[in-house]
């Protein structure tokens, strides 16, 4: 079985302000670059919107606004040798 590694990140998206298509492109590109630095290639990539209730409440303090002010996107990828 080949070596695999999972990458994940969650982004807060401000509706009407954030360019979602650009953010999606940057997320995928970031995973591709990190995997290449690990001498791996992306074999699976997913993205989904996550409910604000699943985000740790401490993030509200970091953002200075309620978590429900944002749409939360989870990006994940699996890379393999």
Q: Coil, strand or helix: which one is 74? A: strand
Distances in whole angstroms, Cα of residue 30 to Cα of each of 1, 54, 68? 25, 23, 26
pLDDT at 6: 97
Give 1-49 pLDDT, tens digit per residue: 789 999 999 999 988 888 889 999 999 999 999 999 999 999 999 999 9
Greatest CA separation found in the chain? 45
| Spatial distance between the Cα atoms of 9 and 47, rounded to a whole number of angstroms | 10
Tell me the residue ranges of DSSP E strands in the chain.
4-13, 41-50, 71-80
Q: How far apart are CA 11 and CA 27, in angstroms?
A: 9
């Amino acid at each position: 079985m080949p070596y695999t590694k999972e990458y994940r990140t969650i982004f807060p998206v401000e509706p009407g302000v954030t360019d979602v298509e650009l953010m999606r492109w940057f997320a995928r590109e970031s995973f591709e670059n990190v995997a290449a630095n690990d001498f791996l290639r992306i074999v699976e990539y997913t993205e989904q919107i996550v409910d604000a209730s699943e985000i740790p409440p401490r993030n509200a303090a970091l953002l200075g606004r309620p978590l429900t002010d944002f749409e939360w996107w989870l990006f994940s990828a699996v890379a393999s040798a």
